[in-house]
Amino acid sequence: MEDLLGLGVVVCLVGIAVIFAVAVRDENAPAALNAVASLLLVLVPIAVDLFASRLYGVRVGLSPEVPLWVGLAGLLHSYGMLGPYDDIAWWDHLTHTLSAALVAALLYAGLLVAVDSTSVSVGISLVWATVVLLTLLAGVFWELIELLARDFARRFDVPSVLDHYGRRDTVLDLLFDVVGALLVLVVDLRLFVPMAEVSPETTVAALVVFLGGFVVGSLVLSLVIVVGQAEPRA
């Protein structure tokens, strides 16, 4: 099974590489940059797993499920930049649901392990609500990045590396982020619990960093966008 999942990761990497080549051939800079970013994101969990294995002699459970999920989301997103985002109405909903489900699955595993490792009694309904809220927070952070990319492209008259289609699209994106989180919770997907159980202390720290990073990041991005829109354009 692990070999099959590993093959899936390779297929995703090859697919993203092909998309990158097509984007370069067509001089589609946004698609090329997104393909590179997707490739790097797939390699991050693989590198983390190898790093932990070499230095500490443990496998942290990041391979191959995490890179496969990241790779599939990256493949669909990169391909979307070649046209499907503009031509297929539901493509954006698909990629948001898939990406949000990954975030929710990681959060769900982390919160379950964090609760079990403490003496605090927390009901599963509170865990569910926290997963949905944190996934939504991650979605807001991404939407702010899209807005910033759009404003940057307009200011410097260059193609935007991310597409933003207005407020209605933002609301729909966040809605499907919630859908992705709910799918994980309804099926009680605990795929990443073994990974989180390797070091409960690290898991709790990661959750704190996640929360703080996205809250602070969202505030900073919001400030940058507001200031940028308030400045007079030449």
**What digits encode the pLDDT tens for the residues 185-217?**
999 999 889 888 888 888 899 999 999 999 999
Indicate whether 118 and 76 sit together in one domain: no
Whether residue 78 is found in the same domain as residue 103? no
* 111 and 176 housed in the same domain: yes
* Model pLDDT, residue 164: 79
Higher pLDDT: 200 or 180? It is 180
Neighbours of 193 (CB within 10 A): 17
Q: Which of 58, 88, 118 finishes a domain? A: 88
Burial of 100 (0-12, 13-18, 19+ CB in 10 A): buried
Same domain, 103 and 185: yes
Total domains in the chain come to: 2
Query: Dihedral of the CA atoms 60, 106, 111, 137 (nearest 10)?
Result: 140
pLDDT band at 128 (very low <50, low <70, confident <90, very high): very high
Residue 192 has what DSSP assignment?
T
Range of the domain at 21: 1-88
The C-alpha atoms of residue 3 and residue 100 are separated, in whole angstroms, by 26
* Residue that is last in its domain, among 88, 111, 143: 88
Q: Examine residue 159 and say whether the peptide bond preceding it is cis (omega within 30 degrees of 0).
A: no
Sign of the alpha-carbon dihedral angle for 213, 65, 74, 184: negative
Identity (one letter) of the amino acid at 84?
P
**Same structural domain, 97 and 62:** no
Q: Do residue 95 and residue 76 come from a single domain?
A: no
Amino acid of residue 191: L
pTM for this predicted structure: 0.91
My answer on whether 96 and 82 are in the same domain is no
User: Do 46 and 142 belong together in one domain?
Assistant: no
Residues 57 and 128 in one domain: no
Q: Confirm if 73 and 12 have CB atoms less than 8 A apart.
A: no
Q: How many C-beta atoms lie closer than 10 Å to residue 43's C-beta?
A: 15
